[in-house]
A and B are shown apart, each in its own frame.
Chain A
Amino acid sequence: MAAVTTLESSVKQPHQQSGGHSGAADGSQLLTFKLGDELYGVDILRVQEIKGYTTVTRIPNTPASIKGVINLRGTIVPIVELRTVFGMPAIDVTSFTVIIVVVVRDKIMGLVVDSVSDVLTIDRQDIQPPPAFGSRVDVSCLSGIAKSGDKLVALLDIDRLLAEGPASDGR
């Protein structure tokens, strides 16, 4: 529990500071995963586990981005379809499809992604603030863009993504 709270306080900062370097501050590690051809990264300390895809029970009358709930060793964990959150077309479950289980404000949630790729260590100076696309593309849930070799990694601000989005009490 203590670990979670300290993490939170460290992750809250990016909101106040001018964008930039979220969870990946000072060369921290990122778990990267793929949605289509795009690479995304999430602070590895926020990841509880990675789980193969299992049957998800749909929750009636909830937004499409909430795929449903699963039984994670006895606890009910909601599953968020990241493709739907970003407005990408849904694809069928493959053998690579995984659920990344993350902790957001003391709540456990699963993210369905196309595949996990790697754990990367990225230096702080390699992170740039998220680009401004205006209203054309919503990048509010990104905390930054990082470069790793020739790959571009979009850093996800999962607090904003999940706590203010599908998981919050207001629909």
Chain B
Amino acid sequence: MSNEFEQFQDAFFEEAAEHLAIVEEGLLQLEQRPEDLDLLNKIFRSAHSIKGASGMFGFDAIAQFTHKMETLLDLLRSGKKIVTPGIADLLLKSTDCLKTLMEGVKLNAPVDENVVQRLSTELAAVSAGEGERASVTPPTSASEPSASEGAYDIRWTPPEWLFRRGLDPLQIFKELIRIGRLSRVNVDTSRLPDLNGVNPETCYLSWTMRLETAASLKEVESVFEFVREDSELSIEAVTVPNPAPEGSGTNVQREIKTATSEASEDGPKSIGEILVESGAVSKEALERALSQQKRVGEILIEQKAATPQQIEQALQTQRQMEAAAQAKKADTTSIRVDTAKIDKLINLVGELVITQSMLSDLGTRFEMGQVHVLLERIAQLERNTREIQERVMSIRMVPIGTAFSRFPRLVRDLAGKLGKKINLVLSGEETELDKTVIEAIGDPLTHLVRNAADHGLETPEERLDNNKPEAGVIKLHAFHEGGNICITVEDDGRGLNRDKILAKAVKQGLVSDGAALSDDQVYPLIMRPGFSTADKVSDLSGRGVGMDVVKRNIEALGGTVSIKTVYGKGTTFTLKLPLTLAIIEGMTIRVGRETYIVPMLSILESIQPKPEAVKTVVGKGELIDVRGIYLPVIRLYNVFNLKPEHVDPAEAILLILETEGERVAVMVDEILGQQQVVIKSMEQNFRKVQGIAGATILGDGTVGFILDVRGLLEIARQGTPMAA
């Protein structure tokens, strides 16, 4: 039972995430086209779906919060309010908050109630017509409601004729909830007569309640406007002790408070507790001492070491990091598949079964005369198999738009943070690639887009000075090329400064001073660990981590990163990735009696060297002259301890391979051909073998190994490999 429920819950989270994406995307578009009613309706519908579903599952916090968003959206939709940047911003923030709420429910993690509360109040305030203030000065209004929040004790005895006039007390309560938070609602049923004495059209009930709200007494009174007459109504303002102090220190306080309270629950006791328990200190004294204790953030603010904004921002980053870490954990591995795809697959499997039974039928009473029938059936089987393979692969294929969808928001926020104007252009979103690849390229792409926004694009003033339009452009484009997918991240910013990179590289000792390097050798230097040419470190980028991570991640997927740049005009990063991780294009080669597969991606060319082309240095290190550049030669039979057919390079074949920017010539006996191979894991039943990336099943049913060029290089450098 509970399992079933969980299953539905998963579906809910998945669906809600989709709705949230729609809301977010819609809101971003809404900023451009505030009048688009269709768009508003779309957003509203998605928000409504989230509300409905979360209510159904009993996630009240989500439902209530979404309800507040919905109220505002409804006002926008009906034209009672217009979309201002402030409102859009508030709604976007609320979307983020909603995301956090959902993560919270999903992982059973605590949610930052303060943010939820603050946004709820803000939403309510904007909906209630105080929008201007909230939207014009969000930083102050953010902390204000909690500070100025008052409370009213309300006692209300409605007139007996309430129902006869078609009025519903529930409406009143709903109205009250709109402007604040209701608590301690009590109904007085003492006037209720016996059942046979009840007049259903008479109201016998009265209520007492407390309303916490930022609204004035007048506004609260106005709620009761229609029932004022003959009602016994008393509204008294009360002062609630406000636990949160004012100002931006609020959050700082809360952060550490939760931390300490958690610690005292699970961890060892705090020193204060121990002192109190042992009687050394009175509880009051301890509390007094604690109240004087300050948080790091507050102290920093006091010492003027940091501005409240900075602290607030740092806290926000911290929260985001936490959320991101949690989100990673919650990554779902499910995939949504079009039913049509599955139906087609079932049909194909049906055909396969028929072919199989025809074959086995043929096999039981086979005569040599039927060879042509056999061949025909086998051809049919081949067709079936190929088609099924294609279909199954296509199930894993997802449009890359899912990976792109996060960027409009990211770029919008970056633009705001950096004070730059950035237009994001996405194209080729429909390009399909393997889901695992999509999941894996998200982070590298984010890095690239961030870099483009932070380093690539100039400030508006700088751009205008250089006769460029004020707004910079970042283009993300995806397309198929051969068996690969290419993703380009292009900006029209300042471009890479060749001289600066070179100077830095010389300084770091990466290249020798005065070395003549081609562009293709210079630009990839920025992808070295710890290499950054940024003059100052910002919180976005410039620490020299990032590009190397991008490169590593992409290479782990069997892809490559290349850079094109024109100084002053812009930079283009091109990621070239295999369509899928499960199948690669490979070249089958032979050494002695063994067959290996070399990934096509790493092969640059293959040559049959002239006898004099291979030279040695210090008697052993072999080098080959490939059009003027000497490359080290690795004899595969040496590395793998095999018996080769050819020992003379002139008789053998040299494959020029590239890995992480390094080129080597690998000597093999023969090239057998090119084919697609399905990668099988070696680690599943064995362990990683150096120099081997994985295994595959060859045409004859035996196992063949896929070479790992990097690993080969490493073995070759270690010297003699372990003897077999």
Contacts and interface: CB of A to CB of B under 8 A. Distances in A.
Given A61-B724, A167-B686, A74 B715 contact: no
B692 A71 contact: no
A69 B641 contact: no
Given A59-B692, A60-B640, A76-B695, A71 B685 contact: no
B264 interface: no
Contacts of B685: 75-78, 107-109
A136 interface: no
Contacts of A77: 685
A76 B703 contact: yes
Contacts of A167: 686-687
Contacts, number: 76
A167 B689 CA distance: 11
B644 to A, nearest CB: 13
B637 to A, nearest CB: 10
Contact of B684 (A55, A76, A171): A76
Contact of B689 (A54, A61, A107): A61
B690 interface: yes
Interface in B45-60: none
A61 B715 contact: yes
A99 to B, nearest CB: 13
B619 interface: no
Nearest to B697: A71
Interface string B673-708: 000000011101111111110010100011111000
A70 B684 contact: no
B692 A171 contact: no
A59 B705 contact: yes
Contact of B702 (A57, A61, A75, A171): A57
A63 B689 CA distance: 12
A55, A69, A107, A109 — which one has the most chain B CB atoms within 10 A of its CB? A69
A109 B686 CA distance: 8
Interface residues on B, range: 20 to 34
Interface in A38-81: 54-55, 57-64, 68-71, 74-78
A90 to B, nearest CB: 13
Contacts of B594: 57-58, 60
A60 B641 contact: yes
A169 interface: yes
Contacts of B704: 57
B695 to A, nearest CB: 5
Nearest to A108: B685
Contact of A60 (B687, B691, B702): B691
A60 B724 contact: yes
A60, A63, A109 — which one has the most chain B CB atoms within 10 A of its CB? A60
Nearest to B689: A59
A69 B686 contact: yes
Contacts of B692: 59-60
Contacts of A63: 724
A62 B684 contact: no
A60 B680 contact: no
A31 to B, nearest CB: 20
A74 B721 contact: no
A54 to B, nearest CB: 8
A107 B686 contact: yes
A71 B684 contact: no
Given A64-B724, A75-B680, A76-B695, A57 B689 contact: no
Contact of B642 (A60, A62, A71, A108): A60
A70 B704 CA distance: 9
Given A57-B703, A57-B704, A70-B703, A62 B689 contact: yes
B429 to A, nearest CB: 35
A66 to B, nearest CB: 8
Contact of A62 (B639, B697, B724): B724
A76 B715 CA distance: 23
Contacts of A78: 685-686
A75 B682 CA distance: 9
Interface of B: 594, 639-642, 680-682, 684-692, 695, 697, 701-705, 715, 721-722, 724
Interface of A: 54-55, 57-64, 68-71, 74-78, 107-109, 167-169, 171
12 contacts: A57-B704, A57-B705, A58-B594, A59-B686, A60-B641, A60-B689, A61-B640, A71-B702, A74-B680, A76-B685, A76-B695, A107-B684
